[in-house]
Amino acid sequence: MEKQSEKNTAPKNPYMDSFSIFLYNEGKNYNCYECLGAHPSDLFGIPGYSFAVWAPNAAAVSVVGDFNDWDPSAASMFPQGDTGIWHAFIKDVREGMNYKYYIKAKNGELIYKADPVGFRCQLRPETASVTYDLSGFEWSDAKWLETRVTTAPYDKPMLIYEMHAGSWRQHEDGSFYNFRELADELAPYLTEMG
């Protein structure tokens, strides 16, 4: 994992400037998804993806995936000062490729981890993250955002209901509901539960 590959060349995360890091360390970078995770990028005109993950207790981190035959020594990540954030740019990575972080903990433990800020993931039972370009995503929550501005959220009672989507309901054949199907049944159920 310590071997540096020619495919991994950028020591600094272009998506995270010093102010973003300051806000992140303060717990106030509310848009950290813009700098963490995997983002399509280019380095000197070479297309690829920029990867960044917060792993403060890691001794070393690398990115493994379809693009490097899951080889932990092929794409080492670089620590970004003492922030706990690790970064790498990997050329020739395209949208739709599977990846994970390969982490060597300070105690020597070796761990494969999905991206906690990943924008897409494999369907179960697989567990890898999948590279995805968020730039084309169109939000459809304008009406809700308008309502939120005129609503005082802290002067009303709040009920928090937690459920595990994979076990709450299943089809008769044992297959899982997708989120759209869950919404159709969950909303009336939650209304009934108060």
Regions of the chain with pLDDT less than 50: 1-11
CA pair distance 180, 157, nearest whole angstrom: 27
The confidence score (pLDDT) of residue 50 equals: 93
Collect all residues with Cβ–Cβ distance below 8 Å to 101 and sequence separation of at least 6.
51, 53, 55, 61, 62, 63, 64, 77, 112, 113, 114, 115
As beta bridge partners, residue 94 has none
pLDDT value for 13:
58
CATH class of 18-136: mainly beta
Q: What is the pLDDT of residues 16-66, one digit of tens each?
A: 677 877 777 777 877 788 889 999 998 888 999 999 999 999 999 999 999
pTM for the full model? Answer: 0.70
Task: Determine the pLDDT at residue 119.
Answer: 94
Q: For residue 153, what pLDDT is reported?
A: 74
Burial letters for 146-156: b for 16+ Cβ neighbours within 10 Å, e otherwise?
eeeeeeeeeee
Domain residue extents for the chain: 18-136, 142-193
**What pLDDT does 180 receive?**
85
Report the pLDDT value the prediction gives residue 14, as an integer from 0 to 100: 58
Q: What is the pLDDT of residue 7?
A: 45
